[in-house]
Structure 1
Amino acid sequence: MKILSAEEIKKVECKCFELYSTEAELMLKAGTACYNEIIKKYENEIKSAKVAVFCGNGKNAGDGFVIARLLWCYGVDAKIVLCDKAPTIAEPLMYFQQAESSGVKAESFTETSANADFIVDCIFGIGFHGEARAPFDKVFKAVNESGARVISVDTPSGSDATTGKVCENAVKADYTIAISTLKYAHIQPPANAFCGEISVVDIGIPEDCYEEGYPETIEFENVKKCFAPRDKNSNKGSFGHQLNICSSYKMFGAGVIATLSAMRSGAGLVKLMLPKSAYPLAAAHLTQCLFAPCDENEEKTFSKSAISEAENQLKWANSIVLGCGIDVNDDTEKLCEYVLKNADVPIILDADGINCINGRISILKEVKAPIVLTPHPLEMARLISKPTAEIQENRIKTAKEFAKENRIILVLKGANTIVTDGEKVFVNQTGNPSMAMGGTGDMLSGIAGAFIAQGMSAFDAAKCAVYIHGLCGDEAAKKLSRRGILVSDMIDQLGALMSHFE
């Protein structure tokens, strides 16, 4: 699924008008598709409900007039609420008149207009930016305070479809029906938190109306294509050797999580290289992997002499996970530098591995092998010396520019994790807030490393790992709750979920 800005989708629609369809036809298709989606989702509740379709005076209102008429004809007690002046644009005006002719009542907005069971928000759609002028500030407030279930068409009113910024009292939807494609507001904070559940409806715009190069969502079908069937005569060497250079005494669990995740993701052999004091702690939790205990310093992290062990282990590995729980000091920084400069196989650089290159990211350009960097927003902010808020306001742009400049694959974690190589951009939609806890990043790194060890390209491995990692969070939350899951609960889902990709 493509992700477009407001201007980009307008260009697509203009091309469609030139080649295939009139604006009125497309508006009718959009309104009808949204109506069908509403009925499909709320059929059991909406027939006996009061529905208020809130409309502005732009083209989003035209969709609303179509929805209101179709709901009325279906037997729903639906009304139109005009939030500004009556429509003047030809196409919305035509559908407004059709709705009135069908018997739909229309009223100008008052404070009691929001007394409904459902509110369909067709006030602005993708046309909003800046702050809400009167009377829309009062309209938005009334919608949010109504207690009604709110369905927004295209994007919630008060959200900027391109930047993801929101105004004061922006409409907070329970359900958003995106038309044709996703918009940036659906995946970009803070607007993505105002969308509720999101679905996308197809209104028949032909593919040749779109240009190449838009960001896309990671889809199940594309993930499945990345997994080759397993040969009947396979052995443990057939599925790769994964080396996890992780852990310290204080954070031995990071390596445990990365290693368990790698084994559950199908790597043939997984070896955990860790400081010797962390070895018995990790071994108590890991009975099916290999270990490479190393010398340590007084802080019980990797010492400088761990570099000689790393030199031996690099020859064995098909993929490397570097950094989970290693801590940041002079010794670990030197170890990371050595591995980055000398590895010939793809590296997943995560957590303290990322922190170890703060202030000297030019080292990334010296790496011979493909590298996947997996920062969360704060780690990204440290890397490029910008506030976290600025990162979050420009997630796709920031990620794409950094990946291109440093010739890496970047996984910018968070809600709607971004995967980019500086050219192609993919956005993930699996996952949920229950995953906001320590250790989930270690799990993601272990999965990605395992996919690389089995022969995937680093870019495909990053995409697939992000998608499946989110599925694990969704499945664990479904079985338990969104407040009480552990990373181990997510790892427990991996084996069964992998069956969907065979």
Structure 2
Amino acid sequence: MKPVVTGKEMKKIDAYTIEHIGIPSMVLMERAACGLAERMKAHIGRADPVLCVCGAGNNGGDGVAATRILFCQGYSAGFYMAGNPEKWTEETKKQIQIARNAGVPEYNELDLGHVRVVVDALFGIGLSSPVREPYGEIIRKMNQWRAENRGVQIWSADIPSGVSSDTGRILGDGVCADYTVTFGYLKRGLILYPGREMAGRCFVEDIGFPQKALKENFPSGFTCDVRDFKQLPERKNDSNKGTYGKILIIAGSKNMSGAAGFAGKAAYYTGAGLVRILTEEANRVILQTALPEAMLSVWEETDAETLKGILDWADAIVIGPGIGKSRRMAERMEQVLKMADKPLVIDADGLNLLAEHAAWYAFLPQSAVLTPHMGEMSRLTGTPVDVLKGDRAAFAEIFAEKHHVLCVLKDSSTVISDGRRTCFNRSGNHGMATGGSGDVLAGMIGALMGAGADGFSAACTGVFLHGMAGDSASDACSARGMTASDLVDHLRKVLKLTENRNRGCDKSE
């Protein structure tokens, strides 16, 4: 897993490297500049005029140094210093003097008329308040230049200026970059929207922070990638259907059979050995036809003793998809929560009922996984959606810690938190904004938990694979027309990739 840092966490790692390890700040700056310049060289022509727009802080120093490196290698590069020279950091002053000594062109006015490539080095990760003038005007001018000229590029150093490194929010004005080269580790604001979109294509450059600096200041956030497929529960040849988990899915109501079907099929495709669906009688024939592999129980034939037996049978329980919010269903869900002591996933209407019955939190088993989308999270917390979107990770972390649950806060950039650790998901696409997508995810997480994965690993892995299935489906049938059925179908393709990779057959990343 790859670390994901806040601005404060990154500053601590940087300070420890300088003060305790002894690597000078100027050395780190040179490495950052070299990394930025090397990335740029793969995408620009030697004759393309480059202008670096630099601020007073060390981000500006990174930009000046990168400009000098490009210039000394024969590129047409120069720099413009924005703001008050009295606020230049010592490192930035040194880089400016080195650039001047090397004969790098320095411009006194911001003129983009002759430029094909702009390097944005105005603000780094320390920005926490709205951009003030004249910087706002400079950012707007760069964005307008990009919008009006075909084939030009903006490269941001570390993070697009005006984007919060912690939340991805735009602080007044923000640079809309084509590429971002971030230094050391991914920043939260480069994963969370709208910062993720503002960053364009993002590269992470290793500039030499020692592992000790990371261990001594270990961040709470991380992200998965394809190399983390090994976290899937192990499968052995000497096994049987009971080995891989018995999953109970309490889902569906009259005219809502699809939710139960999607969750059940996704659980099977994720590797569950046995799936039982508890639903309404009205769904019996539909589900037995659509998913004959699943066992079926119906509420109309389930008394308290029968329910206890069904709950005891299960290794993991998923409750909520398509169950509705009737008073009768509320009574059933309360009964389930009081009787069940198994790994639990609560989704969809299960969350909406929970929002109306706060006393039920006391009945939840330890580390229950709750999977709200923004609307459901708003109902659970009483917080408007636009406020939640302002700091997704913080709200997920606070909610998880308060209620001692695992929170999978679903959105364009899903975050998973247990209150101490937070996983930032990078897979998936807008085609997954379709009915049934959340039901598929709930079934996947339940299957992983039933096979023995702890709740946090199951949630992180499930969300990542769910997004990978969405990306595969988008490539095959377009994001615009994607359905939950496509997600389930492509889940098997993604899992085949994991099997091949774990056997060493696929070396791609």
> If the length of structure 2 is used for normalisation, what is the TM-score?
0.90
* Deviation at residue 29 of structure 1 after TM alignment: 0.9
Q: Report the equivalent of 1:202.
A: 206
- Are the equivalent residues in 2 in contact too, given 1:324–1:351 (CA < 8 A)? yes
Cα gap change, 1:355/1:88 in structure 2, threshold over 3 Å: closer, same or farther? Answer: closer
Quote the Cα distance in structure 2 between the aligned partners of 1:384 and 1:481.
Answer: 35
The amino acid of 2:124's aligned partner reads: G
Bigger drift between 274-283 and 457-466 goes to 274-283
Q: Report the equivalent of 2:503.
A: none
- Are the equivalent residues in 1 in contact too, given 2:9–2:219 (CA < 8 A)? no
Q: Report the equivalent of 1:300.
A: none
Q: How many residues align structurally? A: 490
Q: Report the equivalent of 2:256.
A: 251
Bigger drift between 47-56 and 218-227 goes to 218-227
- Are the equivalent residues in 2 in contact too, given 1:68–1:78 (CA < 8 A)? yes
Q: Report the equivalent of 1:465.
A: 462
The amino acid of 2:130's aligned partner reads: E
Q: Report the equivalent of 1:319.
A: 316
Query: What SS does structure 2 have at the residue aligned with 1:239?
Result: coil
Q: Report the equivalent of 2:153.
A: 149
Map of 1:136-175 to 2, 5 A cutoff? 136-147=135-146, 148-175=152-179
- Are the equivalent residues in 2 in contact too, given 1:114–1:143 (CA < 8 A)? no
Cα gap change, 1:251/1:490 in structure 2, threshold over 3 Å: closer, same or farther? Answer: same
Q: Report the equivalent of 1:25.
A: 27
- Are the equivalent residues in 2 in contact too, given 1:171–1:194 (CA < 8 A)? yes
Quote the Cα distance in structure 2 between the aligned partners of 1:38 and 1:363.
Answer: 55
1:7 aligns with 2:5: no
* Deviation at residue 4 of structure 1 after TM alignment: 2.7
Give the CA RMSD over aligned residues: 2.3
Q: Report the equivalent of 1:187.
A: 191
Query: What SS does structure 2 have at the residue aligned with 1:138?
Result: helix
- Are the equivalent residues in 2 in contact too, given 1:452–1:461 (CA < 8 A)? yes
Please, which runs of 5 or more residues in structure 1 have no aligned partner?
297-304
Q: Report the equivalent of 1:98.
A: 98
* Deviation at residue 127 of structure 1 after TM alignment: 3.3
Q: Report the equivalent of 1:373.
A: 370
- Are the equivalent residues in 1 in contact too, given 2:233–2:453 (CA < 8 A)? no
Map of 1:221-370 to 2, 5 A cutoff? 223-295=228-300, 309-368=306-365, 370=367
Cα gap change, 1:308/1:351 in structure 2, threshold over 3 Å: closer, same or farther? Answer: farther
* Deviation at residue 372 of structure 1 after TM alignment: 0.6
* Deviation at residue 493 of structure 1 after TM alignment: 1.6
Match of 1:176 among 172, 176, 180: 180
Cα gap change, 1:369/1:63 in structure 2, threshold over 3 Å: closer, same or farther? Answer: closer
Quote the Cα distance in structure 2 between the aligned partners of 1:389 and 1:422.
Answer: 22
- Are the equivalent residues in 2 in contact too, given 1:347–1:372 (CA < 8 A)? yes
Quote the Cα distance in structure 2 between the aligned partners of 1:185 and 1:356.
Answer: 33
- Are the equivalent residues in 1 in contact too, given 2:167–2:390 (CA < 8 A)? yes
The amino acid of 1:224's aligned partner reads: F
* Deviation at residue 293 of structure 1 after TM alignment: 3.0
Q: State the Cα deviation string for residues 375-430 of structure 1 (Å, max 9, x = none).
A: 11211111111212222223222212221221211111113322222222222121
The amino acid of 1:238's aligned partner reads: T
Map of 1:105-144 to 2, 5 A cutoff? 105-110=105-110, 112-113=111-112, 115-144=114-143
Cα gap change, 1:312/1:338 in structure 2, threshold over 3 Å: closer, same or farther? Answer: same
* Deviation at residue 228 of structure 1 after TM alignment: 4.3
- Are the equivalent residues in 2 in contact too, given 1:306–1:335 (CA < 8 A)? no
> If the length of structure 1 is used for normalisation, what is the TM-score?
0.91
Quote the Cα distance in structure 1 between the aligned partners of 2:113 and 2:167.
Answer: 28
Cα gap change, 1:281/1:70 in structure 2, threshold over 3 Å: closer, same or farther? Answer: same
Q: Report the equivalent of 1:487.
A: 484
Q: Report the equivalent of 2:402.
A: 405
- Are the equivalent residues in 2 in contact too, given 1:472–1:497 (CA < 8 A)? yes
Query: What SS does structure 2 have at the residue aligned with 1:130?
Result: coil
Cα gap change, 1:309/1:223 in structure 2, threshold over 3 Å: closer, same or farther? Answer: farther
- Are the equivalent residues in 2 in contact too, given 1:447–1:465 (CA < 8 A)? yes
